[in-house]
């Protein structure tokens, strides 16, 4: 039995190992160690992995970056290794260009945030300066030069001057940031794209409103025809912008084709603006239109000039509450306060407009990240085919891993909300993951339903065969729970999770648990052996490890017996399999043994004859198998032992045995037979 258990353990471990190895599409790569020419100087240099050679200009598939993934998989199958290297180089160039656009947009967002924050700080400083100036003027009305009240007023004036100086410095930082943003061509381009995105959104909104307005006009009127022409022109302009942007996607940002595409986009946006203004009748630029950044810079310059021209006397200068002139007189205080308040309001308004532009930048960055995801999906198709044909995609995959990480400024709560909404609306973001999540749930539910039904069918089929209840339950559980486990693994692929690392972790964990839970695995293996060889089943009367009882339940780990005294005894399967197993219920019939110790004064022949007669008179005693009744005699020192053996049905064993004892006692009393009592 020990040998069988050991075989079962090895078999179980082998099955787990085969499943793990089969499930991991791993590829061994061995690299020969490089000899370090600088070994004698103990200088170690890390090997720099160079990009595989490939000509992106010779690529074919990268000319259409929006090609469906399933079509791309078919297109790359006939390509040779050299051609795939060209394709990989071209797709990496596309990915690099998209990452550059994302980086520029994110840098522009950060600079916009700094400018907005500075403007809000300046507005706050101006409000504090106005308040301090008013408090100083109020104190001067009742203060005498040199008095404590006068000193307090001077302190308030000094505080107002410091706040104004702080505002001036903050405004200078905001202005410098704007100038830097304007001078940087790449960041300025990101701003222009964000502004144009706003124009397209407004144009689409204008188109919807114009269509609603046209429904209210008589179709036969000249106004209806005129509005229809304007609507058609706007619709055509919107499609022209979308087409120009689509045509630009297939080229690298530094290529002549990309620059030519940019020029066409600008021309299409100009026509879009004219078509929209033809409907709205408004030619003035809004905060979301082209030139918003320039207008913001102009407002900052105006605010800087206002602050610079605001003069507050302090630091020992003579303060007069009502003196006219450029000092802190009452009229001047009111005028300066109004200037400061107006400047603060203008800065708040400008910061609000810049926040709208920043949000458009965020939307643009999120859309670019979605486009990057689409390129990565197609790039991976190229790399998978490259690996299958003997190429090495390690360099490209490292690049993908490096650029896939996104850092989000959580302190920008407004921008974070815009990002989330844009991501949810994106085809490669929320919509994609919503579909993936739906597939995941669908696969798991379908697996659960299918394998539950399969488990029921298998259970009914096994009942028709000579399969133990334990084995039947085990097989059904494996089918039901194992099916759900397999369904979850398959569903993980819908969430774009690679199964190789998951299976690797499961495989490693299985070996760790195998060493940590050796005794439990021994019980598990013994439970498998009990199921296979089926020495007993639930409901059988058995003797296991010296314990007699009825089998109450069997699991893979242990067997539970219910004794004659109604005690439940749990025995580990390892102990059960290694010890003697006696099954008293293995057959339809069971033999009853009754031992009688007769006194030597009794007539032994008569006693034996009486026992046989009593046994034959019982209706449950069987005539077959032969002999129906056997009574053997053994002579002991103080008594004669007579063994009576009869056969009955297994189900009637205990009832028949109990009744035979009662019948024998009554008959012995009638025949005056005595039972021996040893001294």
Helices (H) and strands (E) in the chain, counts: 18, 8
The string of DSSP codes covering 224-289 is: HHHHHHHHHHHHHHHHHHHHHHHHHTTS-TTSHHHHHHHHHHHHHHHHHHHHHHHHH---S--TTS
Average pLDDT for residues 514-540, to the nearest whole number? 76
Q: Is the pLDDT of residue 662 over 50?
A: yes
Please state the separation of Cα 551 from the chain's center in Å: 46
Which pLDDT belongs to residue 287? 39
Q: Nearest Cα to 113, choosing from 169, 181, 165, 172?
A: 181
Q: Nearest Cα to 486, choosing from 444, 452, 549?
A: 444
Which pLDDT belongs to residue 43? 42
Which pLDDT belongs to residue 74? 92
Q: Which of 45-54, 65-74, 289-298, 515-524 has the highest mean pLDDT?
A: 65-74
Q: Is the pLDDT of residue 572 over 70?
A: yes
Whole-number average pLDDT of the chain:
76
Average pLDDT for residues 348-354, to the nearest whole number? 79
Are 241 and 200 in contact, with CB atoms under 8 Å apart?
Answer: yes
| Dihedral sign, Cα of residue 410, residue 414, residue 419, residue 420 | positive
C-alpha distances in angstroms, 652 versus 160, 244, 482, 610, 648? 108, 93, 41, 23, 7
Burial label for 663, CB within 10 Å (0-12, 13-18, 19+), is: middle
Average pLDDT for residues 348-367, to the nearest whole number? 80
Q: Which of 175-179, 371-375, 510-514, 517-521 has the highest mean pLDDT?
A: 371-375
Q: Is the pLDDT of residue 309 over 50?
A: yes
Q: For residues 656 and 110, what is the distance between their CA atoms, to the nearest angstrom?
A: 94
- Run of H or E including 153: helix 148-183
| Dihedral sign, Cα of residue 662, residue 663, residue 664, residue 665 | positive
| Residue 558 β-bridge partners | 572
| Residue 77 β-bridge partners | none
Q: Is the pLDDT of residue 591 over 80?
A: yes
The CB density around residue 563, as the number of other CB atoms within 10 Å, is 13
C-alpha distances in angstroms, 129 versus 124, 125, 142, 312, 344? 9, 6, 21, 10, 11
Are 642 and 607 in contact, with CB atoms under 8 Å apart?
Answer: yes
Q: Nearest Cα to 114, choosing from 371, 351, 304, 431?
A: 351
Whether the pTM exceeds 0.85: the reply is no
Q: Is the pLDDT of residue 52 over 90?
A: no
Q: For residues 600 and 32, what is the distance between their CA atoms, to the nearest angstrom?
A: 96
Q: What confidence tens digit (pLDDT) does each residue in 626-659 have?
A: 666 666 788 888 888 888 889 999 889 989 999 9
Which pLDDT belongs to residue 322? 35
- What are the structure tokens assigned to 197, written together? 């995105």
| Dihedral sign, Cα of residue 184, residue 190, residue 196, residue 201 | negative
Query: Length of the chain, please?
Result: 679
**Which domains does the chain show, CATH number per domain?**
54-420 (no CATH), 433-516 (1.10.287), 589-671 (3.30.70.100)
Q: What confidence tens digit (pLDDT) does each residue in 205-253 have?
A: 888 888 888 888 888 888 888 888 888 888 888 888 878 877 776 566 6
C-alpha distances in angstroms, 22 versus 289, 500, 504, 515? 59, 10, 11, 22
Q: How confident is the model at residue 411 (pLDDT cuts 50, 70, 90)?
A: low
The strands making up 547-554's β-sheet, listed across from edge to edge, are: 568-572, 558-562, 547-554, 541-544, 581-583
The CB density around residue 142, as the number of other CB atoms within 10 Å, is 11
């Amino acid at each position: 039995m020990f040998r069988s258990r050991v075989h079962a353990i090895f078999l179980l471990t082998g099955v787990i190992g085969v499943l793990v190895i089969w499930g991991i599409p791993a590829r061994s790569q061995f690299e020969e160690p490089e000899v370090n020419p600088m070994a004698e100087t103990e200088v170690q240099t890390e090997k720099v992995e160079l990009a595989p050679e490939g000509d992106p200009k010779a690529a074919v598939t990268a000319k259409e970056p929006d090609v469906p993934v399933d079509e791309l998989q078919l297109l790359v199958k006939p390509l040779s290794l050299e051609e795939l290297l060209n394709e990989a180089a071209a797709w990496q160039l596309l990915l690099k260009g998209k990452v550059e656009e994302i980086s520029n947009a994110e840098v522009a967002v950060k600079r916009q945030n700094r400018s907005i924050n500075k403007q809000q700080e300046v507005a706050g400083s101006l409000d504090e300066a106005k308040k301090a100036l008013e408090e100083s003027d109020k104190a001067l009305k009742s203060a005498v030069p040199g008095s404590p009240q006068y000193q307090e007023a001077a302190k308030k004036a000094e505080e107002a001057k410091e706040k104004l100086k702080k505002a001036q410095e903050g405004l200078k930082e905001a202005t410098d940031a704007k100038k830097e943003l304007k001078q940087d061509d790449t960041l300025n381009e990101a701003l222009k794209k964000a502004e144009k995105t706003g124009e397209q959104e407004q144009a689409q909104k204008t188109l919807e409103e114009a269509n609603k307005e046209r429904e209210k006009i008589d179709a036969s009127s000249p106004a209806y025809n005129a509005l229809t022409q304007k609507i058609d022109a706007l619709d055509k302009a919107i499609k022209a912008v979308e087409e120009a942007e689509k045509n630009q996607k297939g080229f690298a940002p530094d290529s002549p084709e990309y620059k030519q595409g940019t020029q066409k986009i600008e021309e299409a946006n100009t026509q879009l603006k004219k078509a929209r203004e033809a409907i709205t009748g408004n030619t003035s630029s809004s905060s979301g239109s082209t030139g918003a950044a320039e207008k913001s810079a102009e407002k900052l310059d105006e605010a800087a000039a206002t602050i610079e021209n605001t003069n507050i006397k302090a630091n020992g200068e003579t303060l007069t509450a009502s003196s006219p002139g450029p000092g802190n007189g009452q009229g001047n205080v009111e005028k300066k306060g109004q200037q400061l308040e107006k400047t603060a309001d203008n800065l708040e308004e400008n910061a609000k407009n810049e926040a709208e532009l920043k949000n458009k930048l965020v939307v643009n960055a999120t859309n670019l990240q979605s486009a990057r995801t689409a390129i990565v999906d197609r790039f991976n198709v190229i790399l998978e085919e490259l690996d299958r044909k003997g190429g090495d995609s390690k360099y490209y995959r490292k690049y993908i891993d490096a650029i896939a990480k996104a850092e989000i400024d959580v302190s920008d709560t407004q921008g974070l909300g815009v990002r989330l909404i844009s991501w949810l609306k994106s085809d490669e973001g929320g919509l994609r993951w919503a579909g993936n999540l739906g597939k995941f749930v669908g696969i798991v539910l379908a697996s659960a339903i299918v394998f539950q039904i399969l488990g029921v069918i298998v259970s009914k089929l096994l009942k028709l065969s000579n399969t133990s209840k334990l084995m039947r339950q085990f097989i059904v559980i494996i089918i039901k729970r194992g099916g759900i486990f397999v369904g979850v693994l398959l569903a993980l692929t819908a969430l774009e999770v690679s199964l190789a690392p998951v299976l690797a972790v499961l495989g490693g964990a299985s070996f760790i648990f195998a060493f940590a839970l050796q005794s439990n695995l021994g019980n598990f293996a013994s439970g498998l052996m009990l199921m296979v060889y089926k020495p007993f089943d639930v409901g059988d009367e058995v003797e296991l490890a010296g314990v007699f009882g009825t089998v109450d339940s069997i699991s893979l780990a242990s067997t539970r017996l219910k004794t004659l005294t109604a005690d439940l005894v749990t025995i580990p399967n390892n102990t059960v399999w290694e010890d003697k197993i006696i099954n008293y219920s293995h057959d339809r019939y069971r033999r009853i043994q009754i031992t009688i110790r007769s006194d030597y004064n009794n007539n032994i022949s008569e006693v034996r004859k009486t026992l046989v007669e009593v046994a034959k008179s019982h209706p449950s005693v069987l005539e077959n198998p032969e002999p129906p009744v056997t009574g053997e005699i053994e002579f002991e020192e103080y008594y004669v032992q007579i063994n009576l053996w009869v056969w009955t049905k297994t189900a009637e064993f205990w009832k028949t045995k109990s009744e035979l004892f009662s019948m024998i006692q009554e008959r012995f009393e009638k025949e005056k037979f005595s039972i021996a009592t040893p001294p």
